[in-house]
Amino acid sequence: MGQKIRLAERVVAASKAARVAKASRFGIMISAVLTFMIFAVSYYGEVVGNFTFTVDRMAQNAGITMYESLQEKDYTARLISDKVDNADGMTIYCGTEFTNFDIGDEVCIPSDHHVSSVDGNNNGESYIVYTFYVENAGDVMVDLTTTMNIISTAKNAEEALRVRIIIDGVATTYAKRQSINGTAPGELEPLTESFYSLEAVMLEEITEFDVGNIMKVSVVIWYEGEDADHTINLVGGGVKLDMQFTVSFVYSEGNF
């Protein structure tokens, strides 16, 4: 009789262990999903509003201008992208060792070809994409400096931010270096370049931008769901950014 009781106890214990293991696996799955769903109102909504691109007065005086479409060159010194209302986490790591998501999953940032295939706004549900053109419509060659500036930030949301900039087909993804929450604090996030400074995402020099030259620029902005800092602590946070173009050097006939 004692043997039967002990056997029954073992069966019950095994059953409980199985249920606990199943619940644990389910909890891990739910947790992984939730990390991509914590920014219901954040960067793209009330905190930031629309994203702006500007040519400063010096660049305007040199003939640098922007427009949204090659077919309709509506010259301007300021462009504004549409915002998105849902800012859940996305990831650029699909199909790599840095995530379990396969290419084509709904949380994956689309390919460079896809995001830059539409002039102007090409937003997804949880990421901003904006493509525009910068032209030297003046009468002298110049060197341009382009910067993306961090205007403000709340709840350290910039820690999980990603900005991918594609200039004439050459793409770079920018991110803050890993925080103490990362696997290698102080090191680069995988497949990224570091933010230029505490106040700027990037700074790039475009040299010898000649008269009539046209540069295609696509900007993709999202919160990286696989970032160690993409946690519930950032709910309600946000980052405000803008991108500016200025002239750093004006060539004369003697400079050529």
Q: What is the pLDDT along the chain (256 residues), one digit of tens a residue?
A: 454 444 444 433 444 434 433 433 334 344 444 455 544 333 333 333 468 899 999 999 999 999 999 999 999 999 999 888 777 889 999 999 999 999 999 999 999 999 999 999 999 989 999 999 999 999 999 999 999 999 888 888 899 999 999 999 999 999 999 999 999 999 999 999 999 999 999 999 999 999 999 999 999 999 999 999 998 887 777 888 899 999 999 998 656 5
135 in the same domain as 117: yes
- The Cα 61–Cα 38 span in angstroms is 44
Do 51 and 23 share a structural domain? Answer: no
**Which amino acid makes up residue 121?**
N
Q: Amino acid letter at 185?
A: P
CA–CA separation, 127 and 44 (whole Å) = 8
Taking the CB of residue 131, how many other CB atoms lie within 10 A of it? 21
DSSP state of 253: G
DSSP state of 82: P
What is the distance between the alpha carbons of residues 66 and 11, in angstroms, rounded to a whole number?
72
What is the domain range of residue 157? 40-255
- Answer yes or no: do 10 and 70 share one domain: no
Which residues partner with 147 through β-bridges? 203, 244
What pLDDT does 203 receive?
Answer: 97
Give pLDDT, residue 42. 36
Same domain, 249 and 215: yes
DSSP state of 166: E
Residues 4 and 93 in one domain: no
Structure tokens at 249: 């050097």
pLDDT at 13: 42
